[in-house]
Amino acid sequence: MLPSQSRDQSRHPLARHTMHIMKPTVFLSHASIDEAPLRALKKKLVEKTNSSINFFLASDGQSIPVGRNWVHKIEEELKGSHVMFVFVSPSSIASQWVFFEAGFAYARGIKVIPVGLLGIDLAELPPPLGLLQGFNIRDVEGLNNIVAILNVEFELTAPVSFSREDFGEIFGAIAGSGAGALGRFAEYVADLTLMMPCDDAQAALQSVANLALTRNLPAEVQSSHMTTSGVQFNDSGGRHEYLTAQFAPELLSITFPLAEDFVRMMAIPQGKLYDIHISFTEGVSCLLKPQHLTARLYGTPVELRGYYGLRFRGSDFTVAGSPATLHLRSANQELSELALDQLIDILFDRKVLSISR
């Protein structure tokens, strides 16, 4: 090898560590309460990069051997890292620890990339971390951004191929939180109900049971309803057949992919509209007159439609009452396209939905 080639190769972190039979380190900074999904993500990243990168996750029980000084090991790994992904969630913002790690890494010239997690929108993140270029993880595209960045940084050819199933496996680890689908204020959602017209409710119940089984969810079909973990599907009966699905918010991180399958099976092929009712907990209210409601939503992506009606991302909605209810009618869209998390965040942030203390 020519001397010039050797110098060029040694400049690249992956090449430099390969020469010393070492892997480059990517530091995954996070709040300890977010350990479960980050541990699942780390496992997937190790597989996709063919174990060519050392992913440091302080809480996974593997990155820090038993008996090692925790703070010293984190400092040691930070010094040897080349890239840091800072996973910014409601919990990590509250703990402040990730900001300390990010500041330390940035001061040492490590590339720091913030990642919005569990409903956090980086566009609303204040400086200094908010000044850095990052992205939000709301769907599969966000996960694939991580692999794409690793490919560029370390000259890899890892497959940029996270699937919806991968997304469900990773964020299904957050049992007890619907934040991934409902945003930062998921704790204030009491119930979510989907209503769908159908021609043969009995056949639809069996079909949705089969969908649940493919996602390793138990399914019990009876005469007019189907039950799975965290969801109850019911045949409305009567002349006009409707299928309703009531979702428990606390397990929505696991059952949301099933809700997407339900919409994709029942609505999209037939071009049917469907309704979503979201009821909020006691203490959440919306008692605004139309002029105040529209004033508070001025400058947001929400558009006006009729007297009380509003529109967000192509779907009409209304919000009112105490406890508040949000009623949204789709325009033949995929469930993920409705961006329920963004809409709920806007309604709370603009004080359209108020919380009594």
pLDDT at 122 over 70: yes
Q: Say if residues 253 and 187 touch (Cβ distance below 8 Å).
A: no
pLDDT more than 90, % of the chain = 35
The residue ranking higher by pLDDT, 312 or 168, is 312
Q: What is the pLDDT of residues 179-189, one digit of tens each?
A: 567 877 887 89
Question: How would residue 296 be classed by pLDDT, with cut points 50, 70 and 90?
Answer: very high
Residue 115 pLDDT:
94
DSSP 252-297: HHHHHHHHHHHHHHHTTTTT---EEEEEEPTTEEB---HHHHHHHT
Residue 111 pLDDT:
94
Q: Say if residues 229 and 255 touch (Cβ distance below 8 Å).
A: yes
Residue 331 pLDDT:
75
Plot region of 283 (φ>0 → left; ψ -120 to 50 → alpha; else → beta)? left
Residue 260 pLDDT:
85
Residue 69 pLDDT:
45
- Per-residue pLDDT, averaged over 59-81, amounts to 57
- Per-residue pLDDT, averaged over 113-124, amounts to 82
The reply to whether omega before 128 is within 30° of 0 (cis) is yes
- Per-residue pLDDT, averaged over 33-61, amounts to 85
Q: What amino acid occupies position 337?
A: E
Question: How would residue 357 be classed by pLDDT, with cut points 50, 70 and 90?
Answer: low
Please state, in angstroms and rounded to a whole number, the distance separating the CA atoms of residues 162 and 125: 26
Q: What is the pLDDT of residues 308-346, one digit of tens each?
A: 689 998 899 999 999 999 999 987 788 878 888 889 989
Token representation of residue 297: 């939503």
Residue 117 pLDDT:
82
pLDDT at 193 over 90: yes
Question: How would residue 110 be classed by pLDDT, with cut points 50, 70 and 90?
Answer: very high
Tell me the pLDDT of the chain averaged across its residues.
81
pLDDT more than 70, % of the chain = 83
Residue 71 pLDDT:
60
Instruction: Give this prediction's pTM.
Output: 0.55
Q: How does DSSP classify residue 58?
A: T
pLDDT at 68 over 70: no
Cα 235-236-242 angle, rounded to 5 deg: 85
Residue 3 pLDDT:
38
Q: Say if residues 222 and 256 touch (Cβ distance below 8 Å).
A: no
Please state, in angstroms and rounded to a whole number, the distance separating the CA atoms of residues 28 and 149: 14
- Per-residue pLDDT, averaged over 120-146, amounts to 87
C-alpha to C-alpha distances, 344 to 2, 156, 185, 350, 353, nearest whole angstrom: 60, 39, 7, 10, 9
Within 13 A of 85's CA, how many CA atoms are on the CB side?
A: 26
Residue 73 pLDDT:
64
Q: Which of 44-48, 61-65, 218-222, 326-330 has the weakest average pLDDT?
A: 61-65
Residue 12 pLDDT:
47
Residue 329 pLDDT:
92
Residue 262 pLDDT:
85
Please state, in angstroms and rounded to a whole number, the distance separating the CA atoms of residues 231 and 191: 11
Domains annotated for the chain, with CATH where assigned, are: 3-163 (3.40.50.450), 179-355 (3.30.310)
Closest Cα to residue 94, out of 72, 66, 118?
118
